[in-house]
Structure 1
């Protein structure tokens, strides 16, 4: 699978397709999916749910802008 599904979810979100991004990522059981799931719920304004997914991802709660977080995750996935 590589990172393609994760990058696709982020690209869908960037193109205004939050629901499609969430649908793609929500049932994947791994930490990378949980990280993107956290970001998506943070973007949605559901901080409690976002914090749950950050914990599942083993990632700290991001405190910068949503745009900065998107770039951070996308960049990490391209490493």
Structure 2
């Protein structure tokens, strides 16, 4: 079953929150191997989810952070917050 655009975006938001929170935790607990493992898993899933989203719906960000097909896609789809 294919995810809807809003479901895919929600998954990215959850993974970004997880990665940020783990990053902050690891700043004060750098020796916590379990947290490092979870952080690495979250970032792998985040990058995979972003790549899948952009392939299906277009770029999430611009200014050199996301590739675009031709014609320029940044303005041709709903903004991420409009989904």
Q: TM-score scaled to structure 2, two decimals?
A: 0.37
Normalized per residue, the structure richer in helix is 1
